[in-house]
Amino acid sequence: MTVEFSDIWAARANITKGAVRSPLVPSPFMSRIAGHDFFLKLETAQPIGAFKIRGATNALVNLPEGTAGVTCCSTGNHGRAVAYAAKALGLRAVVCMSSLVPVAKVDGIRALGAEVRIVGSSQDDAQAESSRLAREEGLMEVPPFDNARVIAGQGTIGIELLEDCPDLQTILVPLSGGGLAAGIALAAKQIKPGIRVIGVTMDRGAAMYQSIRAGKPVAVEEVPSLADSLGGGIGVDNRLTFAMCRDLLDDCVLVSEEEIYDAMQTLYYEDRMVAEGASVVGIAAVKAGRIGPIRGPVATILTGRNLDMTVFTDVVSGRSVTLGDKTIEGQAYVP
Ligand SMILES: *Cc1c(COP(=O)(O)O)cnc(C)c1O
């Protein structure tokens, strides 16, 4: 199983059943910092507030006739996307979660019309239940990133970016499991072979970065981060995204929690926009000077807006934020 450019092209037609074609807007402030036009791709404008609706819709549209329904075990943006896409297509969706998941998240997914199964007390227990439903009840499991249809769905962003800005020289992609980066890199390099595609992630628990360095998928300890949507492993038996990210990304860079904090403030005060920590790592990397020489227009993906509003208001108010063992010292925004 591989992903071809033609799969991404096909996904473009499929995803119109769930996703919108998001706007690409300039950021005057970041353009000054970068010395070239700097664009933001607003996946925050998707119906569930994140790009994952693209991959989920493409996976569900392609299910064989007569499929009983779908299942997954994500409590975050992927779970929301699967629930939403299933509803739009009239399919049954079961989202498996452990008893540790906060009630608000359970309610959020239920409100999108999915059945919620609470099982056990860890993500592994939830995963096991999702796999059991697939085996015993014939539900189709939809993985969050390591799946050809999901990667092709996320890759549609690469086509849209180059349609809207053919001069683009660099794309900065928030990186976790790598479905987004693999899809965008495949599409963008097919259309414009010389383009630079750089993965950006947080320096705490950077699974894909560590895996590329090790030359094979490795497990990393999951730690809390302002970029919570970038947490989690890539799977030690990763089939697609590891090889694609290793082969297609020009570079992979890390940003600190303090830099993510500053980038969330920057986006809010300079562009008047609200986005998750995971969304602003591209802004953080440019501000911190991690992106080598910038020689032309740059774009980054504002991947989602589903954040904890208490954390967000603390950040934009310059208050300290404590996440597990880590405290990010408060700092008022300095332009
Ligand atoms: C899932 C997600 C990412 C990372 O996508 P991958 O395909 O796992 O690399 C980035 N930002 C947000 C908001 C996400 O939900």
- The residue whose CA has the least distance to atom 14 of ligand 1 is 229
Residue 108's pLDDT is 86
Contact present, 12 and 20 (Cβ < 8 Å): no
Asked if 261 contacts 283 with a C-beta cutoff of 8 angstroms, the reply is no
User: Distance, CA 103 to ligand 1 centroid (Å)?
Assistant: 22
Distance, CA of 183 to CA of 179 (rounded, Å): 6
Instruction: Kindly tell me if the per-residue pLDDT of 18 is higher than 90.
Output: yes
**Cα of 181 from ligand 1 centre, angstroms:** 9
Closest listed residue to residue 71, CA positions, set 11, 143, 136: 143
Give the three-state DSSP class for 120: coil
Number of neighbouring beta carbons within 10 Å of residue 135? 10
Residue 105 has a pLDDT of 82
pLDDT per residue as tens digits for the range 109-152: 999 999 999 998 888 888 899 999 999 999 999 999 999 999 99
Give the number of the atom of ligand 1 that is nearest the alpha carbon of residue 199: 9
Least Cα distance to 160 among 47, 56, 4, 12 occurs for: 12
Strand, helix or coil for residue 106: helix
Q: How far apart, in whole angstroms, are the C-alpha atoms of residue 269 and residue 320?
A: 18
Domains of the chain: 5-50+152-328 (3.40.50.1100), 52-141 (3.40.50.1100)
- Which of 173, 176, 245, 255 to probe ligand 1 with, by most ligand atoms within 8 A of CB? 176
The preferred substitution site among 303, 306, 307, 312 for testing ligand 1, maximizing ligand atoms within 8 Å of CB, is 303
Closest-lying ligand 1 atom to the alpha carbon of residue 178: 9
Of 158-172, 224-238, 248-262, 286-300, the poorest mean pLDDT is in 224-238
Cβ burial of 206 (10 Å; 0-12, 13-18, 19+) is: buried
Across the strands, what pairs with 105?
none
Cα dihedral 109/113/114/118 (nearest 10): 60
Atom of ligand 1 nearest to the CA of 304: 13
Substitution candidate for ligand 1 out of 82, 173, 230 with most atoms within 8 A of CB = 230
Give distance in angstroms: CA of 230 to centre of ligand 1: 6
C-alpha of 156 from chain center: 14
Sign of CA dihedral 204, 251, 190, 4: negative
Q: Where are the alpha helices (DSSP H) in 249-324?
A: 257-271, 281-287, 309-316
- CA atoms of 234 and 294, how far apart (whole Å): 29
The average pLDDT across 59-76 equals 91
User: Whose structure tokens read 């059945």?
Assistant: 115
Q: What is the mean pLDDT of the chain?
A: 95
Which residues line ligand 1 at a C-beta cut-off of 6 Å? 50, 52, 77, 145, 174-181, 229-230, 276, 278-279, 303-304
Q: For residue 122, what pLDDT is reported? A: 81
In ligand 1, the atom with minimum distance to the C-alpha of 177 is 8
Instruction: Tell the residue nearest (CA) to atom 7 of ligand 1.
Output: 179
Helices and strands per DSSP (H, E), number in the chain: 13, 12
pLDDT at residue 103, as a whole number: 82
Tens of pLDDT, residue by residue over 241-293, are 999 999 999 999 999 999 999 999 999 999 999 999 999 999 999 999 999 89
> Of the residues 172, 180, 245, 248, which should be mutated to test ligand 1's pocket, given the most ligand atoms within 8 Å of the CB?
180
Comparing 31-45, 189-203, 212-226, which segment has the lowest mean pLDDT? 212-226
User: Which atom in ligand 1 lies closest to the alpha carbon of residue 150?
Assistant: 7
Question: Average pLDDT, stretch 93-108?
Answer: 86
Mean pLDDT, to the nearest integer, of 81-95?
Answer: 95
Is the distance from CB of 330 to CB of 320 less than 8 angstroms?
A: yes
Residue 176 C-alpha to ligand 1 middle, in angstroms?
A: 6
Q: What is the DSSP letter of 50?
A: B
Q: Which atom number of ligand 1 is nearest to the Cα of residue 145?
A: 7
